[in-house]
Amino acid sequence: MSLFTDDDPLLPPGPRPERVAPPKRVIVGWSLVAVAVVATLVLALVPAPYVIEQPGPVYNTLGTDEQVGGASDGEAKQLITIPGQKTYPTKGSLDLLTVSVVGNPDSRPSWLEIAAAWFDPSRAVLPVDVVFPPGTTTEQSNAENAALMVNSQQDAIAAALNKLGYEFPEAVAVKQLIKGSPAATVLKVDDEIVTVNGEPVPGVATLRRLITENGTDKAAKLGIVRGGVASTVEVKPIKTAGQTVVGIGAGMDYTFPFDVKIQLNNVGGPSAGQMFALGIMDKLTPGFLNGGERVAGTGTIDNEGNVGAIGGIRQKMFGAKGAGATIFLAPASNCDEVTGHIPGGLDVFAVKTLDDSIKVLDAVSSGGSTSDLARCPAS
């Protein structure tokens, strides 16, 4: 007996209906759905050659090493301590900002995460090779950033103590010699550079300026101290990458009059320098440097008080806004990245030096006018 015959008793007698294929538009529609499902799976699973920068933890340099708004584990330590010295009560905050990076060469975000970040003004999408240069491991990058943080803390201490009038030994020293450079056969690592063409060199920024002013047409006369013996040597600068250089990596050596301890783990890079310096000054002077207000900022600093550009400033502005700050101290050299991206309610001042930042804080603490102070344009 056949299970299926043309004589199906459930159908009425007569001609049988023909099977009709689905309309073409239905086939196309379902095909597009299938493609979309596959594309979504690809976006969700396939790693992209990018990483994401987003606002990271915020720390109050006047408070503890616990991030602002984070839960305390009961072991919080003062971020800045100055043992053996008279310190004064503080109020409000001088917040330093950080940037968190989502992804690394070993674990990259998916295309779906990248797509979401593109539409979020508080986040930035960058090629992975920009953040992690080829040949550099994640561990090496972290170690380099840790070293930059240590150096920035030393420079911040020097900037604060210099501004407060303390005197202590500080010297510009040769930390690295570039092979084949003009200085390679003349200078040695650990040489102190005291003068350039007879002008004193109190810091690395001044050294760079004097070398640039000397130019490449003649040798610069460098007054150095090597092993405690002073002498004068000549080095003819060259042009490289648009800059006038002699081919050294210079750094600072300090002998501070007292200890300043900074407790901040798992944060790297040099961008907290300015806020460390302001926090140290506030603790060593009576009154409230910030008027008791919540102030945030960023920027590298050197012992001469020069504030330099940093990365991730847009993410840091959003971090400051999220922490409740209304005043933001930004390096003037970052204003091109700031303009048009300032979160609502955040007043961004453009500062070139520690003196500029103190002028802003003086106006904030006294309730005075800030109309004559430099700002990064809102738009």
3-state secondary structure the chain: CCCCCCCCCCCCCCCCCCCCCCCHHHHHHHHHHHHHHHHHHHHHHCECCEEEEEEEEEEECCCECCCCCCCCCCCCCECEECCCCCCCCCCCEEEEEEEEEECECCECCEHHHHHHHHCCCCCEEEEHHHHCCCCCCHHHHHHHHHHHHHHHHHHHHHHHHHHCCCCCCEEEEEEEECCCCCCCCCCCCCCEEEEECCEECCCHHHHHHHHHHHCCCCCEEEEEEECCEEEEEEECCEEECCEEECCEEEEEEECCCCCCEECCCCCCCCCCHHHHHHHHHHHHCCCCCCCCCEEEECCEECCCCEEECCCCHHHHHHHHHHCCCCEEEEEHHHHHHHCCCCCCCCEEEEECEHHHHHHHHHHHHHCCCCCCCCECCCC
Start-to-end CA span in the chain (Å)? 85
Q: What is the pLDDT of residues 173-202, one digit of tens each?
A: 999 999 999 999 999 999 999 999 999 999
Same CATH fold assignment for domains 53-99+141-163+259-366 and 170-254: no
Q: Which residue has the higher pLDDT, 135 or 24?
A: 135
User: Taking residues 165-175, what's their average pLDDT?
Assistant: 96
pLDDT at 335 over 90: yes
pLDDT value of residue 2: 44
**Matching CATH number, 53-99+141-163+259-366, of 3.30.30.10, 3.30.230.10, 3.20.20.70, 3.40.30.10:** 3.30.230.10
Q: Which residue has the higher pLDDT, 27 or 232?
A: 232
Looking at every residue in the chain, the average pLDDT score rounds to 89
pLDDT at 212 over 80: yes
User: Taking residues 239-247, what's their average pLDDT?
Assistant: 93
List the single range of 132-136, 156-160, 233-237 with lowest mean pLDDT.
132-136
pLDDT at 3 over 80: no
Per-residue pLDDT band at 296 (split at 50, 70, 90): very high
Q: What is the pLDDT of residues 354-373, one digit of tens each?
A: 999 999 999 999 988 898 99
pLDDT value of residue 138: 76
Per-residue pLDDT band at 1 (split at 50, 70, 90): very low
Nearest to 100 by CA among 355, 322, 340, 280: 322
pLDDT at 54 over 80: yes
User: Taking residues 204-220, what's their average pLDDT?
Assistant: 96
Between vectors from CA 92 to CA 91 and to CA 98, what angle results, nearest 5°?
A: 130
pLDDT value of residue 6: 45
Per-residue pLDDT band at 378 (split at 50, 70, 90): confident
User: Taking residues 214-241, what's their average pLDDT?
Assistant: 96
pLDDT value of residue 40: 61
pLDDT at 12 over 60: no
pLDDT value of residue 46: 76
pLDDT at 316 over 80: yes
d(CA 56, CA 67): 10
pLDDT at 257 over 60: yes
Q: What is the CATH number of domain 170-254?
A: 2.30.42.10
Domain range list for the chain:
53-99+141-163+259-366, 170-254
Q: What is the pLDDT of residues 74-120, one digit of tens each?
A: 678 999 999 999 999 999 999 999 999 999 888 899 888 998 999 99
The Cβ of residue 138 has, within 10 Å, a number of other Cβ atoms equal to 13
Q: What is the pLDDT of residues 15-48, one digit of tens each?
A: 555 555 566 665 666 666 666 656 666 656 678 8
User: Taking residues 112-130, what's their average pLDDT?
Assistant: 92
Q: What is the pTM of this model?
A: 0.85
Per-residue pLDDT band at 131 (split at 50, 70, 90): confident
Per-residue pLDDT band at 259 (split at 50, 70, 90): very high
